[in-house]
């Protein structure tokens, strides 16, 4: 179980995340929604400890991850895989070696740098790629792939970390509709088949409603909505985004509302 207790992140005099408290049960697929600048990405980066809270605590089970350092922090990042909007692949490396970097958390640094992977580790990476219909491209350079293909490589890399939780920061923002569906289907299957907790930042309300068990809406760094997708009515969406309900991005300020209270599956794709 993931718990955030009064988490705040300040940059100068501005609070990017403001007193966020959440409990995410194991195995839940949570969509974090809100306008650009609402604090969604900053929140995920703090959970992964790519950024440190100014105040508050983040706990996973009984472990206070905000206090972790050195080896313990490295172990947490292995358990908490991150998928980014821009894929973060090494373009000059082939697909297989990009996926293998997910095992770098589990082996000595020297072995990872020299790419001295065992046959079992290579088989695990190929299995992850096969599950995402990408094994046929294992020997191809990552920078020759389409955006959707690169994001599937990033998901395979996350899978071979054998994580307890996956954080996905706008994973489909730059993808076409077909690849958007492939990527979201992959995250859903990982969540439901393996029971891995997934927290995913999304702009599209339609996707958030379709795929997520729970939606957390943010505005001005605060949680202003926390409920099941069915509770996200058009009126609530207008308040959250400051827009017409069918839109997802705009300039009007949102109206704050109080809050109540592993590889081996088959996916189709190009």
Please state, in angstroms and rounded to a whole number, the distance separating the CA atoms of residues 62 and 191. 22
pTM of the predicted model, to two decimals? 0.84
Please state, in angstroms and rounded to a whole number, the distance separating the CA atoms of residues 16 and 125. 37
Angle between helices 177-194 and 147-160 (to 10 degrees): 10
Find out whether 50 and 82 touch, Cβ atoms under 8 Å.
yes
For residues 199-215, average pLDDT: 93
Percentage with pLDDT > 70 across the chain: 90
Angle between helices 119-131 and 147-160 (to 10 degrees): 130
Q: Which 8-state DSSP code applies to residue 111?
A: H
Percentage with pLDDT > 90 across the chain: 59
Sheet with 222-227, side-by-side order of all strands: 80-83, 165-169, 197-201, 29-33, 214-219, 222-227
Q: What is the CATH number of domain 2-241?
A: 3.40.50.300
Find out whether 90 and 153 touch, Cβ atoms under 8 Å.
no
- Could you state, in order of their start, the residue ranges of all structural domains in the chain? 2-241
Candidate from 1-5, 29-33, 85-89, 222-226 with smallest mean pLDDT: 85-89
């Amino acid at each position: 179980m993931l718990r955030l207790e009064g988490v705040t992140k300040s940059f100068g005099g501005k609070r990017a995340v403001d007193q966020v408290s959440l409990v995410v049960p194991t195995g839940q697929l949570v969509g974090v929604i809100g306008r650009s600048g609402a604090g969604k990405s900053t929140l995920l980066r703090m959970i992964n400890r790519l950024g440190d809270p100014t105040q508050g605590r983040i706990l996973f089970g009984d472990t206070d991850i905000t206090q972790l350092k050195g080896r313990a922090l490295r172990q947490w990042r292995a358990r908490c895989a991150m998928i980014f909007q821009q894929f973060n692949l090494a373009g000059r490396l082939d697909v297989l070696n990009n996926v293998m970097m997910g095992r770098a958390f589990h082996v000595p640094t020297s072995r990872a740098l020299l790419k001295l992977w065992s046959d079992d580790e290579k088989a695990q990476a190929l299995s992850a790629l096969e599950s995402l219909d990408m094994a046929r491209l294992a020997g191809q350079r990552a920078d020759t792939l389409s955006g959707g293909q690169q994001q599937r490589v990033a998901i395979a890399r996350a899978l071979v970390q054998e994580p307890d939780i996956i954080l996905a920061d706008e994973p489909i923002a730059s993808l076409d509709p077909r690849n958007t569906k492939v990527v979201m289907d992959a995250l859903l299957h990982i969540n439901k088949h393996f029971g891995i907790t997934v927290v995913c930042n999304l702009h599209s309300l339609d996707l958030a409603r379709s795929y997520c068990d729970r939606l957390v809406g943010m505005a001005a760094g605060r949680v202003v909505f926390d409920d099941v997708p069915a509770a996200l009515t058009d009126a609530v969406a207008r308040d959250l985004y400051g827009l017409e309900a069918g839109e997802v991005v705009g300039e009007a300020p949102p109206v704050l509302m109080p809050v109540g209270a592993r590889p081996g599956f088959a996916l189709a794709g190009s």
